[in-house]
Amino acid sequence: MIATKLISEARSHRDSSILVDPLLSPLPDTLPKNVTKIADSILTPEELKITSYDVPELLQAIRSEEYSCEAVTRAFLRRAALAQKLTNCLTELLPSRAIARAKYLDSLPISEHGRFQGLPVSIKEHHGMEGLTNNGGYVAWIGKPQDGRCSTQEVLLQAGAVLHARTTQPQTTMHLETSTNIYGATTNPWNTDLASGGSSDGESALIACRGSILGMGGDIGGSIRCPAANTGIYGFKPTPRRIGKLCSLAAVSGQEGIIPTQGPLASSRSGLMLFMETYLSYEPWIKDDYLVPIPWRPVTLPAKLKIAIMWSDDIVTPHPPVTRALKEVAKSLSEAGIELVEWKPEGHDDCWDITQALYYEDDGKHVEKLIAEGGEEMLLLTKWLIKDNENVKYRTVEGVWELKDRRNAYRLKYNELWLSTGAKDNHPVDAILCPAGPGAAPPHGNAKYWNYTSQWNLLEYPGVVFPVTFVDQALDGKDEAYVPKNDKDRFNWELYEPGKYVDAPVGLQIVTRRFEDEKCLDILEAVEKAMGRK
Amino acid sequence: MIATKLISEARSHRDSSILVDPLLSPLPDTLPKNVTKIADSILTPEELKITSYDVPELLQAIRSEEYSCEAVTRAFLRRAALAQKLTNCLTELLPSRAIARAKYLDSLPISEHGRFQGLPVSIKEHHGMEGLTNNGGYVAWIGKPQDGRCSTQEVLLQAGAVLHARTTQPQTTMHLETSTNIYGATTNPWNTDLASGGSSDGESALIACRGSILGMGGDIGGSIRCPAANTGIYGFKPTPRRIGKLCSLAAVSGQEGIIPTQGPLASSRSGLMLFMETYLSYEPWIKDDYLVPIPWRPVTLPAKLKIAIMWSDDIVTPHPPVTRALKEVAKSLSEAGIELVEWKPEGHDDCWDITQALYYEDDGKHVEKLIAEGGEEMLLLTKWLIKDNENVKYRTVEGVWELKDRRNAYRLKYNELWLSTGAKDNHPVDAILCPAGPGAAPPHGNAKYWNYTSQWNLLEYPGVVFPVTFVDQALDGKDEAYVPKNDKDRFNWELYEPGKYVDAPVGLQIVTRRFEDEKCLDILEAVEKAMGRK
C-alpha cells in the first residue's frame, strides 16, 4: 500500500512537471506506432526549427544571438514534454530550474556563457541531480535525497549547460530495455511496440524525439550503445575513468569487477565529439581524481585505415537487417579505399560468463533486498539476469579474486589478439566494426543478449554506436533455413520476423583499443564520410 | 624435511651464482657494522670507478666507448657478489646470462643498443624473470617456474638493459624489512644491526653497496620508499598503472583494494628520472593495456613553489633525526624562496585501518596456507600483520564493497583537503614534504609502522624518497620528557636511542597528487637544488 502511494506520487510529480507553458495542444485520439512525426503538428515552427539543430549548429545560433537561451530552453522543454507523452521517457521535466538558469545565462555577456552556451542537456535519473531525489528505478528509493556531488554535472554547469530533463531507466538499471514498477515501460518512438533499449532508454527515446539533442547516460554492459542503436541516434561509451561517475546511484557501489562509465548520447556525431572535447577541456580530473588526467588528444589516423569487421560473435548470429547494415557499410568503406579484414572473435562466451558473475558477486542479494524493501515485484528481465542465471552466484572473496584473475587474463589475451592483426604488416587493425546487438530494437521484454556490447565493457574498450539504416520489409526477410547453433541463437532467430520490426532503426558499433577514445570518434567520422555523410 | 632440503638447494644455488670470475679475494676476518667501504679493498680501481658512476654518467661512458658493456657488467657482477656477502641481499646473481647479453650488445653498433646502452639493472625476485624460478619469499614456492610475461623487463631488455641480479624480499613480501625462512635476513650496509627496509630490501642493500645503480622494486605500502630511506638511496613509487606489473608473484593476485606498483630504486635522482622517461618512451601500454597511455610529460613548475611540510601524521611522532632532517630541508627551501605551509593530516589512522583490511580481505588465509604448505614458520612480522591485527578479518563481498566505499570516500575527501590549500590564493600546494617512516632504519624486527608510506598507496599518490642526512649522535638526542600519544607512538618512542642507530641514513619523502609523477620528480630536483645539490 505504501508502495502504491509512493508510485502514484512519483507519477503525479512527473505529470505535473510536464505541464509546460504554453500547454501542449491535445494529441490525436489515435497515435500511430511511429510517433516521430507527431511533433510537426503540435509544436510551433520556431520550436521545430530550434529543436531540429544538432549541437554545434544550435550553439552557433545562440552565439550569434539568433535565439536566446530561454527561447532554446522553452522549445526543448515543450518538445521533451511531448516526448514524455509519446514514449514515457521522463522521470521529471525541470521547467522552473531550467528557465531560471537560461534567464541567468541570458543576463550574462555571450562570451561568459561557457562552451555549452546555454545548451539544454538531459540526464539519466540515477546519475542524480543536486537538490532533487533519485530513485534509480527502485520503488524503495522513491524520494531518496541526492547525496554527494554530481561531478559530471558540475562540469556541464560550469560549461554553461541547462539541465532540462531527467530520464527513465529500468528496474536495477540492468536491463537492455526499460520498465520499472514506478513509471512502466519506455517505448521506442519509431515503433512503440518495440523497446527503446536500456538502461539509458529514457535518453534514447527523448533524443530520438528531439526533446533533447545531448544527454548523459551510463554504460556497464551496453546501456548507452544499445538504446542509441535501437532509436537511430549516436551513443558513446568511453573508456572508464575518462568521465566522472560520482553520485550515480546503484544497488552496489563497491563492485569493481566491471566498471561503469557515464557517456553521451546525441542526435549527431558532432554532439558526441563536442561533448567529449568540452567536458575534458574543463580538466574534471582535478576535482575528481578518480579520473585519468588525459585531455581530449588530437589523433592522426593512418593514411589507409584498416578496419576489422565482426559479422558475428560466433555465438548468436545477428538478424538480417544487422548483417545487411554491416554489408552496406563494408561496401562503402571498401569503395573509399579502407582496408577491411575479418575479425575472428575469441572467447566471447567466456567473457560474458565472467562479466555476469562480476556484476553480481553477491548473487544479486542486494538487488533482491531493495526490491523487497520497496514492496515491488521483481520484473522478468531482472529475474532472468539475477535468478535464472547460472553464472550469478554468491562468491567468497577468493571466488571474486579468481574471477578477476580470469578477467585480467582475458584482457591480456584479447589485447594480444588485437595486436596479432598487425603481425604481417605491422599495422594492427585500427578499429572493429560490429553489431551493436543481435538485432534491431526488439519487442518489449526480449532484450536478453548483451554480448555485442558487454564484451567491450569487460575489456574497457571505447565503443560508439551510429545509425545506419532501418529494417526493410523487402530486403530483410527471415532466413527460414537457418539452423541455430545453440539455445541463445535459437531464441534470437525465433524472435525475428520483419513484420515485428516495422520502421526499426539499425545502428552499428565501432570499437577501438583501451583509451583510444579519440580514435574511436575520429574513425566514426571517417566511416560516415565513406558512407557519403558529412 | 623437504623444506630443509629445498631451502638448502636455494641457498646453494645462490652461493654458487656469486662465484664470479675472477673470484673475490677473502673478506677481512672481522667486519665492521658499516660495510659500505669494504669494496675499496676488494675491487680493482677500474671496477670501483665503473660502479661509482650514476646512471647518466655510466651510459655516457658506454656511449663514448670508454667501457664495453661487458666490462661494465663484470664490474657490477663482482660488486653485487660482494654486496651479497656483506648484506645477504641476493636470491641469485646472473653472471652467465648477463655476460652473454653484454657481449651481444657489444657486438652491435652503439647506436643500436637502445636507450639503456647495456646498463646493468637488478630486479626484485618476485617480479620474476623469463626462464627462471620465483619463490616470492615462500618456501612452498621454491622452484616455481616463471609463468607468463614480465612486462616491465620486456621493456628494459628492449631498451638495452642487462639484467644482472635478483634480490631478496621478506616472507609474504609484506614486511617493511626483510627476512625469509629461505635466505634469512638482509642487513643494512650502513649498520648491519639495522634493517635495510622492505619489501624491496634486497634492492636497497644492493644499490647502497653499489652492486647496482638501478633496480626494480615494488610498493603496496612503502616497499620501495622505506628501503630507499633506510639505506640512503633514491626510490620512487609512481601512481599505479604507469609501470607494468605482469608476472609479479603474490599470494593474492585478484585483490584490487590497494593496487601495487613496480617502481625504480637508484643511486641518484637522475637514475629515477632516466628510468621513468626511458621506460615510458617505449609505450609499454601497447602490449600491456592495463597501463594508462600517458607518456612522461614535461612539467612547468610554478615560479614560486608552495610546499606543505607534514611534521607528523598526528599518530606517531617521528624520531629526532627525522624531525631534524625535515627542519634542515625546510630551512633550505625557505632560503631558496619556496613558500612553506604546514600540512594538517586528516584521518591517517582510518586510512591505515582500511588499507590493512583491503590487503587481506580473506583474513590472510591464503598466506597462512602457503606458509603451511612450505612447512615453514610464520615469521613475527607476518604474524603481527595478519594474525594480531584487528583490522584483518575474513570479509564477505558486501564487507569488501563497504571497505571500498570507505576508501573511495576517503580519497575524495583527501583530494578536497589538498585543493583546499589553494582556497585563498588559488595555488594549492605543489607537494607534501614528509617523513618516509617514523625513524631511520630500525633494529631488525621492529618495522611496525607503515603509515608514512602506506597512506599514499591507498590514495594512489606518487611518492619519492631521497637521502637527506645521517643519524647524528650529538644532534639527535632522545626527548626523554616526551609523553606518547598512544600505544603505537609509545612503541616508536621507546624504540629510539641514538646509539642504536649509528651511521643510519635518514631519507625524506615528497608526495604529489595522483598521476603527478613527473611533477613529483621535478619537485625533488627543485628541493635538492635548494639543498645545494646539483
- Interface test with chain A among B297, B394, B397, by most A beta carbons within 10 Å: B397
Residue A419 with chain B: CB contacts under 8 Å: 286-287
Grid coordinates standing for A368?
533482491
Using CA atoms of A523, A529, A532, A534 in order, give the dihedral in degrees to the nearest 10: 120
- State pLDDT tens for residues A189-237: 999 999 999 999 999 999 999 999 999 999 999 999 999 999 999 999 9
**Burial annotation B301-335 (CB, 10 A radius, 16+ → b, else e):** eeeebbbbbbbbbebbbbbbbbbbbbebbbebbee
CA-to-CA dists, residue B107 to A180, B69, B119, B167, angstroms: 71, 10, 15, 28
Grid coordinates standing for A375?
514492496
Contact A38, A86 (CB under 8 A): yes
**pLDDT of the residue at B245:** 86
The residue behind cell 594474525 is: B387
Chains A, B: CB contacts within 8 A come to 85
Nearest to B276 by CA among B78, B3, B520, B533: B520
Q: Which residue among the candidates A17, A223, A312, A332 is catalytic per the annotation? A: A223
SS3 A84: helix
**Closest A-chain CA to B245:** A408
Q: Which residue among the candidates A124, A245, A448, A519 is catalytic per the annotation? A: A124
Average pLDDT, chain A: 96
Contact between chains at B246 and A361 (C-beta distance less than 8 A): no
Q: What residues are paired with B467 via a beta bridge?
A: B507
**Rounded to 5 degrees, what are φ and ψ at A456?**
-85, -10
- State pLDDT tens for residues A26-50: 999 999 999 999 999 999 999 999 9
Prior bond of B318 cis (ω within 30°): no
In angstroms, the CA B83 to CA B196 distance is 13
**In the predicted model, is pLDDT for residue A17 greater than 90?**
yes
Q: Where are the alpha helices (DSSP H) in B137-224?
A: 151-158, 201-208
**pLDDT of the residue at A486:** 98
Contact B233, B204 (CB under 8 A): yes
The residue behind cell 609523553 is: B483
The residue behind cell 520502421 is: A503
Domains of chain A: 2-281 (3.90.1300.10), 307-530 (3.90.1300.10)
Contact between chains at A411 and B290 (C-beta distance less than 8 A): yes
**pLDDT of the residue at A1:** 60
**pLDDT of the residue at A147:** 80
Contact B439, B375 (CB under 8 A): no
What angle in degrees, to the nearest 10, is found between the helix axes of A451-458 and A348-359?
70
Contact B196, B89 (CB under 8 A): yes
In angstroms, the CA B314 to CA B227 distance is 23
**pLDDT of the residue at B1:** 60
Nearest to A252 by CA among A156, A176, A174, A307: A174
Residue A395 with chain B: CB contacts under 8 Å: 397
Q: Where are the alpha helices (DSSP H) in A265-319?
A: 269-281
Contact A278, A159 (CB under 8 A): yes
Nearest-Cα distance to chain B for A395, in Å, is 7
Contact between chains at A362 and B397 (C-beta distance less than 8 A): yes
The residue behind cell 642504536 is: B500
Q: Which helix (H) or strand (E) holds A217?
A: strand A214-219
**Closest B-chain CA to A358:** B397
**pLDDT of the residue at A263:** 98
Grid coordinates standing for A239?
573508456
Using CA atoms of B123, B127, B132, B138 in order, give the dihedral in degrees to the nearest 10: 110
Mean pLDDT of A377-386: 96
Prior bond of A22 cis (ω within 30°): yes
CA angle centred on A471, ends A466 and A473, rounded to 5°: 165
Asked if A223 is an active-site residue, the reply is yes
Share of residues in chain A with pLDDT > 90 (%): 95
- State pLDDT tens for residues A138-194: 999 999 998 878 889 999 999 999 999 999 999 999 999 989 999 999 999 999 999
Nearest to A232 by CA among A175, A191, A263: A191
**pLDDT of the residue at B148:** 78
CA-to-CA dists, residue A198 to A21, A219, A234, A391, A434, angstroms: 30, 9, 14, 21, 19
pLDDT by 10s per residue, chain B, length 534: 678 999 999 999 999 999 999 999 999 999 999 999 999 999 999 999 999 999 999 999 999 999 999 999 999 999 999 999 999 999 999 999 999 999 999 999 998 989 999 999 999 999 999 999 999 999 999 999 988 788 899 999 999 999 999 999 999 999 999 899 999 999 999 999 999 999 999 999 999 999 999 999 999 999 999 999 999 999 999 999 999 988 888 877 888 999 999 999 999 999 999 999 999 999 999 999 999 999 999 999 999 999 999 999 999 999 999 999 999 999 999 999 999 999 999 999 999 999 999 999 999 999 999 999 999 999 999 999 999 999 999 999 999 999 999 999 999 999 999 999 999 999 999 999 999 999 999 999 999 999 999 999 999 999 999 999 999 999 999 999 999 999 999 999 999 999 999 999 999 999 999 999 999 999 999 999 999 999
Q: Give residue ranges of A with CB < 8 Å to any B CB.
A: 246, 252-256, 285-290, 292-294, 361-362, 366, 394-398, 400-405, 408, 411-412, 415, 419, 513-515
Contact A465, A228 (CB under 8 A): yes
CA-to-CA dists, residue A422 to A177, A333, A512, angstroms: 38, 19, 14
**Exposed, middle or buried, B146 (CB in 10 Å: 0-12/13-18/19+)?**
middle
Contact between chains at B294 and A290 (C-beta distance less than 8 A): no
**Per-residue confidence band for A253, with pLDDT thresholds at 50, 70 and 90:** confident
**Rounded to 5 degrees, what are φ and ψ at B111?**
-70, -15
State CA B112 to chain mean position distance: 31
| Dihedral angle sign, alpha carbons of residues B204, B205, B208, B214 | negative
**pLDDT of the residue at A337:** 98
**In the predicted model, is pLDDT for residue A320 greater than 80?**
yes
**Closest A-chain CA to B363:** A397
- Looking only at the bridges linking them, the beta strands covering A191-195 and A187-188 are antiparallel
In angstroms, the CA A506 to CA A469 distance is 5
Q: Which helix (H) or strand (E) holds B407?
A: helix B397-420
Nearest-Cα distance to chain A for B415, in Å, is 7
Candidate from A293, A361, A411 with C-beta closest to B289: A411
Q: Which residues lie below 8 Å from residue B327, measured CB to CB, with a gap of 6+?
A: none
Candidate from A254, A286, A402 with C-beta closest to B400: A254
Nearest to A267 by CA among A310, A315, A204, A225: A204
**In the predicted model, is pLDDT for residue A367 greater than 70?**
yes
For residue B366, the number of C-alpha atoms closer than 13 Å in the C-beta half-sphere is 19
